[in-house]
Amino acid sequence: MKAHDEYLPWQQLTEISLGVLGLAPEIFWAMTPVEWLAALSGWKRKFGIVETPTPDITRNDLEGLMSRFPD
- The residue range of the domain holding 18 is 4-68
> Taking the C-alpha atoms of 5, 15, 13 and 25 in order, what is their torsion angle to the nearest 10 degrees?
100
Question: CB–CB of 18/25 below 8 Å?
Answer: yes
Cα separation, 8 vs 64, in Å, equals 37
Q: How long a stretch of residues is the chain?
A: 71
pLDDT tens digits, 22-58: 999 999 999 999 999 999 999 999 999 988 878 888 8
Could you say which DSSP state residue 71 is in? Answer: -
For residue 4, name the pLDDT band (cuts at 50, 70, 90): low
Domain count, the chain: 1
Question: CB–CB of 46/27 below 8 Å?
Answer: no
